[in-house]
Amino acid sequence: MAKTTNRQRGVRTTAIHAGEGIDPTTRASSPNLVMSSTFAPSEVAGFSARNRDNYDGYVYARVSNPTVRQLEDKLAALEGAQSCQCYASGMAASSALLLGRLSQGDHLVISDTNYVGTAELVRDSLPRFGIEVTPVDMSDLDMVERAVTPRTRMLWVETPANPIMRLADIAALSRLARAKGVRDVAVDSTFASPIATRPLDFGADFVVHSLTKYIGGHGDAMGGAVLGRKDDLDALNLEATVHYGGVLSPFNAWLILRGAATLPIRMRAHEETALAVAKFLEGHGKVKRVFYPGLASHPQHELARRQMKNFSGMMTFQVEDGPALARRMVDRLEIVHYAVSLGHHRSLVYCIPTDALMRSTFRHQGELLERYRNFAGDGVFRFSVGIEDAEDICADLDEVL
């Protein structure tokens, strides 16, 4: 039989075949769904997950499960990572990494603008455990450098940043972290997906994904993942996965495996549709501004071209009276759903007023607030462009604008 395993496989082949294989017993072609929570080991193994050094089979599903393992292997191949751990949600993955790596007295430098759940966790919960947190504009290397102290253990980057589409230069931030002795660079790459950006290739140590978004891609399963070096992920498994317990259900892993197989072709369609919709919005009289990394008008378009192989389907736009448009959207949109979340095959839009988000979550003042407003004004519509026909999406929006 011809062996092709030494060839570097293309991303479409990887998305379909990595982590999967014909079942040796049944010869099933597609992945098995194994719901069993316990497994009967073939030898007498230790009781704690800490002392099974000589047994690497499955024992208990909170430690590892064969369906989840298939997804982890697929995601590791797509990200070019040694190892992957899946979690019950993107937030379970983020909290596992933050709590699993940071201790009392450590300092975290984090993007001042990022997913609201992460922003609230680091601002309101981490300080309770004696972890100091400094939010900075990650697109400004000088500001990041000024924030780093000898106790800084982690830089937490999100690019493109939810919800304003501001980018951060992963390679430059990783170099800065190395030079300053910061141990971990973690990148929430949910908006980009591994098809657009592989943060580890740019020098990051960890990648975080909400699998609920592009990777699952169909809006029917929550999940999260952390990817990185094998020794780091093994340690995170023993601490964060086994003890915090936020593991991915095998059923969700099975759904996400199916979604991930089409990730490369969906991302291509998202980008193609988003570019057409972004141009339509940019030319629309009622739209004040559009921020899409694939448009030359994005203030960091050059960085986007260097760091993103695909501009993905996420954008924001601004209008004169956001709340009034949001109301019309709820009542009248027929194709685009007025709903949170993103990265699904169907289009989703949501209004995010700046003042309300500052009160609930970011609490920026002075310079940081001004910088946020440079991207978001009084508020944005965060638009996750799906893979419907661009003309239908534009007609739906035109009717409410």
Give the contact letters, 3-42, x = binds to ligand PLP (CB under 6 A), - = no: ----------------------------------------
Give the contact letters, 127-166, x = binds to ligand PLP (CB under 6 A), - = no: -------------------------------x---x----
Phi first, then psi, for residue 50 (nearest 5°) are -80, -20
Query: Which region among 100-108, 183-191, 329-337, 372-380 touches ligand PLP (by CB under 6 A)?
Result: 183-191
Residues 335 and 314: their CA atoms lie apart, in Å, by 17
Residue nearest to ligand PLP (CB): 90
Query: Which region among 210-218, 326-334, 345-353, 373-381 touches ligand PLP (by CB under 6 A)?
Result: 210-218
* DSSP states along 262-330: THHHHHHHHHHHHHHHHHHHHT-TTEEEEE-TTSTTSTTHHHHHHH-SS--SEEEEEES-HHHHHHHHH
Query: Which region among 47-55, 57-65, 78-86, 184-192 touches ligand PLP (by CB under 6 A)?
Result: 184-192
* DSSP states along 55-67: --S--BTTT--HH
Q: Count residues contacting ligand PLP (CB under 6 A)? A: 16
Residues 189 and 301: their CA atoms lie apart, in Å, by 17
Read off the tokens for 18. 């990595």
Query: Which region among 73-81, 126-134, 185-193, 271-279 touches ligand PLP (by CB under 6 A)?
Result: 185-193
Query: Which region among 208-216, 233-241, 294-302, 387-395 touches ligand PLP (by CB under 6 A)?
Result: 208-216
365-399 per-residue burial string, b: 16 or more CB within 10 A, e: under 16: eeebeebbeebbbebbbbbbbbbbebeebbebbee
End-to-end CA distance of the chain, in Å? 60
Single residue of 117, 246, 299, 377 touching ligand PLP by CB under 6 A = 117
Q: How far is the CB of 117 from ligand PLP (least distance, A)?
A: 5
Q: How far is the CB of 158 from ligand PLP (least distance, A)?
A: 6
If binding is defined by CB under 6 A, does position 190 make contact with ligand PLP?
yes
8 Å CB contact between 122 and 98: yes
- 193: nearest Cα among 117, 265, 286: 265
Q: How far is the CB of 279 from ligand PLP (least distance, A)?
A: 24
If binding is defined by CB under 6 A, does position 249 make contact with ligand PLP?
no
Q: What's the one-letter identity of residue 140?
A: D
Read off the tokens for 110. 């984090």
Phi first, then psi, for residue 89 (nearest 5°) are -160, 170
Q: Between 212 and 347, whose beta carbon lies closer to ligand PLP?
A: 212
If binding is defined by CB under 6 A, does position 210 make contact with ligand PLP?
yes
Q: What's the one-letter identity of residue 8?
A: Q
Q: How far is the CB of 157 from ligand PLP (least distance, A)?
A: 11
Interface residue list for ligand PLP (CB under 6 A): 89-91, 115, 117-118, 158, 162, 188, 190-191, 210, 212-213, 222, 224
